[in-house]
Amino acid sequence: MLNDSAAGLIPNENWQPACFKQLEKLINSGNLTQRPVGYLNAGQTVTTATILKSVEGFAEKLSNRVNTQGWAIYCDDSVHFIIALLAALKTRLAIVIIPNKQTATFNDLISQNYTLLTDVSLATGNDHHIPVVLEALSDPKEILDLSKQQLFSVSCQQPLFFYTSGTTGKPKLIAKQFGQLIDEVAVLNGLWRENTSQAVFISTVSHQHIYGFLFKILWPLTIGSPIFSPLVSYPEELLAISRQFERVVWIASPALLKRLPDAIDSPVESLAMVVSSGGKLDYQVARQIVDGLQQLPVEILGSTETGGVAWRQQSQENSAWTPLPRCAVSKDCETGCLQVSSPFISSDHSHFVMGDMIELQKDGQFYLKERADRIVKIEEKRLSLAQLEAVLQQCKEVSQVAAVGLQTGARAKVGVAIVLTTAGQEKLHKLGKRSLNLHFTQLLSNHFERTLLPKKWRYVNQLPENSQGKMSVSALTALFEKQ
């Protein structure tokens, strides 16, 4: 999985990123006990001193694992994740950020001689994992002892590996250098420093994927802002927690934000910024958030391979995207898709062609059209799955819809999965599935040729999404393999 040059020890190159300089500055100022790094569920504050003590203790445990290939990190809690990350960085061995806590994922990395660093209870034995814990300060004098210790000497070439989301297939492992990640955070901070200063970062996305890693972990660390450590899963919970702090920033996904308007009962005075990434944010949802919270979400376009690419705020429907500083974009001649050149791309590539088709403007901004993999070819005719979904979405019986291209031998066909509204469920119970299929087919026949009409239909309680709120094509396809 990992090549030998990336997985072994890193050349001895000293480099101190801003987050470590910030920690050193806090130690020298003598204000460690007053400076929060994170907030826990029970209201407990975690200070820089507590983090540093925990890192030092955990790093000592790692130093005893001389025969390991590297570290594979998974933590439910973000403060635990920070401890594991900072301790692992000191070793200069390869670090893999695990996307989930599935047994198969853990076993795969263990089989490659990686040691798991996790706060999840495991039955693998201590030979294969080291539990991550938060150590309390038992004596205030420990602060002075910590201030005498050398902090971190980290290589900008330190490799970290992230898994892609797997929305279009099996997740892939992407290599990043730590210096690339720090540089990208510096760009973000240059754009939104005023919004994020002294704010608590609250996230509805996992830090185990690159979006959450950059926005919930690395960005607040580099600017000395605290995080709310637990993952927030519900709109009502997000609103309630935010009202406990004087200033907050939300790191969110479209999947949660689309459920937010119904939960808003009053403005959140502490809300300084809303960030959304991981998929398209519907314009109507963006406007509802502005109306209810007086904050227009900042949308970030990117991928694991490219890092951040562009941003926008939907002041009007279908607003254009603006490339992030240091990112150059163009239109790939062969595919019509977005081509990106930036220092944030995996070191194996100078540029990367994404799957999104674009309309490029003279001023460098661009409009997203649809993904190239959402165009299917049936009997030599091209069909836009997004266009087909748009027609069905107008039906009163349809709450959500997703279409997918299916391959049966040499024949291609289309399958459609629908979450029905109350009206749709009533019609299904009254008329039956076959009649409802015919109803939707006749509707689509007014817009598409007969050969392009869907051949398979599924009515489900919810569409398959991964932990990032993205549609999983493999899981969607699997719906049509079941009889």
What residues does each domain of the chain span?
4-366, 379-479
Q: Are 109 and 98 in contact (CB under 8 A)?
A: yes
Per-residue model confidence (pLDDT) at position 468: 62
Cβ atoms of residues 31 and 220 within 8 Å: no
Angle between helices 178-196 and 18-29 (to 10 degrees): 60
- Residue 72 · residue 96 · CB < 8 Å: yes
Q: Which DSSP state fits 260?
A: S
What pTM value is reported for the model?
Answer: 0.79
Neighbouring CB atoms inside 10 A of 341's CB total 15
Using CA atoms, how far apart are residues 318 and 424, in angstroms rounded to an integer? 29
> What pLDDT was estimated at residue 13?
39
pLDDT at residue 7, as a whole number: 30
Locate 174 and state its tokens.
């992407």
- State the pLDDT at residue 469: 65
pLDDT digits (tens, 9 = 90+) for 212-242: 999 999 999 888 899 999 999 999 999 999 9
The DSSP 8-state label assigned to residue 18 in this structure reads H
**pLDDT for 47:** 84
Q: What share of the chain is helix, strand, coil (3-state, %, to 5)?
A: 35, 25, 40
Residues in the chain: 483
What is the C-alpha separation between 271 and 461, in angstroms, rounded? 33
**Rounded-to-integer distance, Cα 117 and Cα 62, Å:** 9
Instruction: Give the per-residue pLDDT at 223.
Output: 87
Tokens at residue 157, please? 């070439």
For domain 4-366, the CATH architecture is 3-Layer(aba) Sandwich (3.40)
Q: Which CATH number fits domain 379-479: 3.40.50.2300, 3.30.70.270, 3.30.2350.10, 3.30.300.30?
A: 3.30.300.30
| Burial 42-72, CB ≥16 within 10 A → b, else e | eeeebbbbbbbbbbbebbeebeeeeebbbbb
The list of the chain residues with pLDDT below 50 reads 1-20, 22-24, 26-33, 144
Check residue 50 and give its pLDDT.
Answer: 85
Rounded distance, CA 412 to CA 438, Å?
Answer: 20
Distance CA 161, CA 95 (A): 6
